[in-house]
C-alpha cells in the first residue's frame, strides 16, 4: 500500500512513519507547511510548523531512506482553522481548532491530495487505534472502527472524532497500542535525534500561549460589563470574546461576593458584549444540544446509552443520546429530541443530537465538541450549540 506519512517534525510522527515502513508499505514523508510566516525556532514547547520542525522531519526521512516533501497548505489552514477560530470566538463560542484541523486539513485536504496523487492512505502520529471487524454490509466484508489508545494519558481519539467512515477507511494510527515512554525509547533505538524533543501543546498557531491577546489583536478590545446572574454590574472587561464558560482567573472583579465564594464565567454574549459570572453551582449542565454531527461509521439512530466526552483529555460521562435526522435544535433547556423520519447522513454534518448527561458537568461551552463513545469505540461527534439543565 502507498502511504503518505504526515511528519510534523516530532517524535510521534517520526515513529509512526518508521512503523509504516516496517509493515511493508511504500511510504513517503510529507511535512505540512501551515504557518504563513514560519518561525525559525519554536518557543519552548509551544507552537509547531517552524523551519526547525521541517528540518527535523527531513532528517528522520533521510534516516529511514524515504522520499520527503513539504506541502504548502498555509492558506487552506488559515481559512479553515485560524479564520474559523476567530469567527467562532466573535460569535461567542469556544472552538477546538485541533478537531477542525483534523477534519479540514489532515483528513480532508491532505488525504484528498494524497489520493489524487495515487496514494492509498495517510498515516499520522495520533494516539488512537483502528480496529477491523467483520461486517457483511461493508466493502470486502470489513468495517474499520476508531478506538481509544492503550495509553489513556495520551489518548487522542477525541480530536479524531470528526472523521467519517470514508476518511477512517484510509487512515492509519500506528502508535495506538504503545505508551509515550515506549515511543521515545523506540525513537532512541532507531537513532532519531528528536527522541527527547518536547511535545508541542496548546494551540499551535498561538506560539506564546496568550489566547486573549491573540483574539484582541484580530477582533479588537471593546470594553463591556461583567454582571452577575441577577444583572448587577461587578466590573469591566476588554472584550467578551476573550472569556469562556467556566473561566475563573483574570476576571478582575471590583465587587467581591458577600459570602466570599468564587465566581466563574457562566456565559458570554458578544452581541451585547456582556460577560455573566456566578457561583460554581450554576455552572453545571446536564443537557447538551449539538449539530454538525459526524459519524465514525454507520450513522446512529434513535436513542442510545453512550459515553460523552467534552474535552480532549476530559472525563467520559454516562449519557443518553437522542439523534435527530433533521437540522432543528430543540428549544428550551428541558427540551428533548426525537428521532426523525429519516436517518442521519454519514459524515455530512447533518442532523443534531441531544445528550442527557447522568450528572451535571461544569464548564460546557457552545462551540466545544462532544464526542460519543461505546466502550472504547468512537461512535461520532457533534459541535455543541447550546446547553441546559433538567429540573432536579
Question: Would you call 132 exposed, middle or buried from its count of C-beta atoms within 10 A (0-12, 13-18, 19+)?
Answer: exposed
Question: Hey, which residues are catalytic here?
Answer: 101, 204
Q: Is residue 45 part of a domain?
A: yes
Per-residue pLDDT at 253: 83
Strand ranges inside 61-116, DSSP E = 68-72
Do 31 and 178 lie in one domain? The reply is yes
Grid-cell match 476576571, residue found:
251
Do 257 and 300 lie in one domain? The reply is no
Ranges of residues in the chain whose predicted pLDDT is under 50 = 40-46, 327-348
Do 246 and 305 lie in one domain? The reply is no
Do 358 and 373 lie in one domain? The reply is yes
Per-residue pLDDT at 170: 95
Distance separating the N- and C-terminal Cα atoms of the chain:
56
Do 274 and 291 lie in one domain? The reply is no
* Cα gap 278→265, rounded to integer Å: 7
Q: Is residue 338 part of a domain?
A: yes
Q: Is residue 248 part of a domain?
A: yes
Do 99 and 244 lie in one domain? The reply is no
Do 60 and 180 lie in one domain? The reply is yes
Do 20 and 44 lie in one domain? The reply is yes
Tens of pLDDT, residues 279-310: 988 899 999 999 999 999 889 999 999 999 99
Q: Among residues 329, 307, 313, 328, which one has the least CA distance to residue 381?
A: 307
Q: Domain containing 10: what range?
A: 2-125+174-189
Per-residue pLDDT at 350: 65
For residue 360, what is its C-alpha cell?
Answer: 451535571
Domain count, the chain: 3
Q: Is residue 151 part of a domain?
A: no
Per-residue pLDDT at 41: 47
Q: Is residue 198 part of a domain?
A: no
- Please report, for the domain that includes residue 112, its CATH number: 3.40.50.620
Contacts of 35 (CB under 8 A, 6+ apart): 49, 50, 74, 77, 205
* Cα gap 122→8, rounded to integer Å: 13
For residue 134, what is its C-alpha cell?
Answer: 467483520
Q: What is the DSSP letter of 19?
A: H
Query: C-alpha dihedral over 326, 328, 334, 336, to 10 degrees?
Result: -10
Per-residue pLDDT at 335: 36
- Please report, for the domain that includes residue 340, its CATH number: 2.40.30.10
For residue 92, what is its C-alpha cell?
Answer: 461567542
* Cα gap 33→74, rounded to integer Å: 6
Do 89 and 231 lie in one domain? The reply is no
Q: Is residue 10 part of a domain?
A: yes
Do 347 and 272 lie in one domain? The reply is no
Per-residue pLDDT at 38: 57
Per-residue pLDDT at 206: 83
* Cα gap 75→82, rounded to integer Å: 10
For residue 48, what is its C-alpha cell?
Answer: 509547531
For the chain, how many residues are written?
392
Q: Among residues 369, 210, 355, which one has the least CA distance to residue 288?
A: 355
For residue 85, what is its C-alpha cell?
Answer: 477560530
Is 247 within 8 Å of 263 (Cβ atoms)? no
Distances (CA, A) of 200 to 44, 58, 176, 391: 8, 18, 19, 42
Per-residue pLDDT at 37: 63
Per-residue pLDDT at 95: 92
Q: What is the DSSP letter of 349?
A: B
Do 106 and 242 lie in one domain? The reply is no
Residue 183 has phi, psi (to 5 degrees) of -65, -45
Is 249 within 8 Å of 265 (Cβ atoms)? no
Do 307 and 259 lie in one domain? The reply is no
Residue 63 has phi, psi (to 5 degrees) of -65, -35
Amino acid at each position: 500500500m502507498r502511504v503518505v506519512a504526515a511528519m510534523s517534525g516530532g517524535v510521534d510522527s517520526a515513529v509512526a512513519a518508521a512503523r509504516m515502513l516496517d509493515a511493508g508499505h511504500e511510504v513517503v514523508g510529507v511535512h505540512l507547511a501551515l504557518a504563513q510566516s514560519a518561525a525559525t525556532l519554536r518557543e519552548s514547547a509551544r507552537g509547531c510548523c517552524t523551519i526547525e520542525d521541517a528540518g527535523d522531519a527531513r532528517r528522520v526521512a533521510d534516516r529511514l531512506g524515504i522520499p520527503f516533501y513539504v506541502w504548502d497548505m498555509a492558506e487552506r489552514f488559515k481559512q479553515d482553522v485560524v479564520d474559523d477560530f476567530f469567527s467562532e470566538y466573535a460569535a461567542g463560542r469556544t472552538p477546538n481548532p485541533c478537531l477542525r484541523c483534523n477534519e479540514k486539513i489532515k483528513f480532508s485536504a491532505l488525504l484528498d491530495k494524497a489520493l489524487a496523487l495515487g496514494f492509498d492512505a495517510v498515516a499520522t502520529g495520533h494516539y488512537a487505534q483502528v480496529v477491523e471487524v467483520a461486517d457483511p454490509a461493508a466493502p470486502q466484508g470489513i468495517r474499520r472502527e476508531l478506538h481509544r489508545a492503550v495509553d489513556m494519558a495520551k489518548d487522542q481519539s477525541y480530536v479524531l472524532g470528526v472523521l467519517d467512515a470514508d476518511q477512517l477507511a484510509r487512515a492509519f494510527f500506528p502508535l495506538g497500542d504503545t505508551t509515550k515512554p515506549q515511543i521515545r525509547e523506540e525513537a532512541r533505538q532507531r537513532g532519531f535525534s528528536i527522541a527527547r524533543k518536547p511535545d508541542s501543546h496548546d494551540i499551535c498557531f498561538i506560539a506564546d500561549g496568550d489566547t486573549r491577546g491573540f483574539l484582541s489583536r484580530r477582533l479588537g478590545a471593546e470594553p463591556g460589563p461583567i454582571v452577575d446572574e441577577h444583572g448587577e454590574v461587578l466590573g469591566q472587561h476588554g472584550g467578551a470574546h476573550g472569556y469562556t464558560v467556566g473561566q475563573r482567573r483574570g476576571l478582575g472583579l471590583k465587587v467581591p461576593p458577600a459570602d466570599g465564594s468564587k465566581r466563574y464565567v457562566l456565559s458570554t454574549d458578544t452581541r451585547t458584549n456582556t460577560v455573566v459570572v456566578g457561583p460554581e453551582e450554576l455552572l453545571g449542565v446536564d443537557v447538551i444540544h449539538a449539530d454538525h454531527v459526524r459519524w465514525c461509521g454507520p450513522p446512529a439512530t434513535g436513542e442510545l446509552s453512550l459515553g460523552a466526552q467534552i474535552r480532549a483529555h476530559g472525563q467520559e460521562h454516562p449519557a443518553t443520546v437522542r439523534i435527530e435526522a433533521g437540522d432543528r435544535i430543540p428549544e428550551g433547556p428541558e427540551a428533548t429530541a426525537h428521532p426523525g423520519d429519516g436517518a442521519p447522513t454519514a459524515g455530512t454534518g447533518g442532523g443534531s443530537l441531544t445528550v442527557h448527561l447522568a450528572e451535571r458537568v461544569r464548564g460546557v461551552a457552545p462551540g466545544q465538541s462532544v464526542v460519543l463513545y461505546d466502550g472504547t469505540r468512537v461512535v461520532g461527534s457533534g459541535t455543541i450549540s447550546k446547553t441546559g439543565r433538567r429540573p432536579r
